[in-house]
Amino acid sequence: MSEAELDALLRDCPVLFHMAERGAWPTIRRHGLLSTVAALDLFGVTGEARAAALRRRPDGIVLERADLGRIVLRDQKPLSDRGLERCLRDGLTPADWHARLNARVFFWLSRARVLTLLAGRAYRDHAHEVLELDAAALVAAHRDRIALSPINSGATGRFPAPRGADTFLPIADYPYAAYARRRRGERAVELTVPGAVPDAACYVRRVSVMRGPETEAVLYEAR
């Protein structure tokens, strides 16, 4: 991706979206956004509890400690190991893919993607917190660590998109022009940061409580 292409992407997608469990905002303000691995490290989770969290999670896992706060590792209902076996390339296994997902913080580049997820059968009956972040500011601060994905890497569904070693690519290596020709016009679906974004709150412009497409409350709005 060239500088001009990155500028175009940020013009068209000025807001990044992150969906979290209800009640997550105070902990995010304190610790930032953490990958699954980073959250397990912070809470000192080891042994079988850690191993279970790093496999596919059919339900959310709560991490809570008086001195640290509360984090919920989100469930992975839209993902199945059977689906991964059908779509993985480059000799990767489902365990390999889980390792890639668990090592990253994920952002959507479009509100439509968030609304689709919220409307899905797994989530539509529950309230969630949706963070809206300044895309240009976050990219400027974490550019060397960012990788982009052209697919929803955490879902398989009936017809899972192929995925492999080149699914997550650094900005400089991402084939923007090739994806610009896609019918839906999405040049990138996910923006990811390995490990954690400890200063995430600095880029947050709005935090909303949403149930399906409806906004139930606004918890925070930058001035």
What's the pLDDT at 184?
Answer: 66
pLDDT class of 183 with cuts at 50, 70, 90: low
Q: Are 11 and 139 in contact (CB under 8 A)?
A: no
Question: Any idea which architecture 3-33+78-221 has in CATH?
Answer: Alpha-Beta Barrel (3.20)
For the chain, domain boundaries: 3-33+78-221
pLDDT class of 75 with cuts at 50, 70, 90: very high
Distance CA 131, CA 22 (A): 11
Query: Does the CA dihedral 55-60-66-68 come out positive or negative?
Result: positive
Using one digit for the tens of pLDDT, what is the confidence trace for 2-11?
999 999 999 9
- What is the total residue count of the chain? 223
Which stretch of 73-77, 124-128, 160-164, 169-173 has the lowest confidence by average pLDDT?
Answer: 124-128
Whole-model pTM above 0.75?
Answer: yes
Distance CA 128, CA 133 (A): 16
Query: Does the CA dihedral 214-201-10-189 come out positive or negative?
Result: negative
Q: Which residues contact 99 (CB under 8 A, 6 or more apart)?
A: 54
Q: Which residues contact 114 (CB under 8 A, 6 or more apart)?
A: 17, 19, 108, 130
